[in-house]
Amino acid sequence: MKKIYRLENLDCPVCAQKIEDGVNKINGIKNVDVSFMSSKMSVEFDENINLEQKYAEIIKVCKKIEPDCTIKG
């Protein structure tokens, strides 16, 4: 399953890369691509996962790296 999220208040490409790296470490996520230019994050999830739980984990990673960034899905 693949979802695309909009990132608001993403400050720089370095933070985008750090978010991508951090989210890629979450169990149950196959692949992540964060685009600073489009302010979007594409996430490919494993089958049969709890999307709400993974979304909460993604938000936690994002807030740790970029506290002002919000994720809209």
Q: Which residues contact 16 (CB under 8 A, 6 or more apart)?
A: 7, 10, 34, 35, 36
Looking at residue 44, its pLDDT comes to 97
Looking at residue 24, its pLDDT comes to 97
Residues in the chain with pLDDT values less than 50? none
CATH architecture assignment, domain 2-72 = 2-Layer Sandwich (3.30)
The whole-angstrom separation of Cα 30 and Cα 10 is 23
Q: Where are the domains of the chain?
A: 2-72
pTM for the model stands at 0.92
Q: What is the pLDDT of residues 36-49, one digit of tens each?
A: 999 999 999 999 89
Looking at residue 17, its pLDDT comes to 97
Looking at residue 73, its pLDDT comes to 82
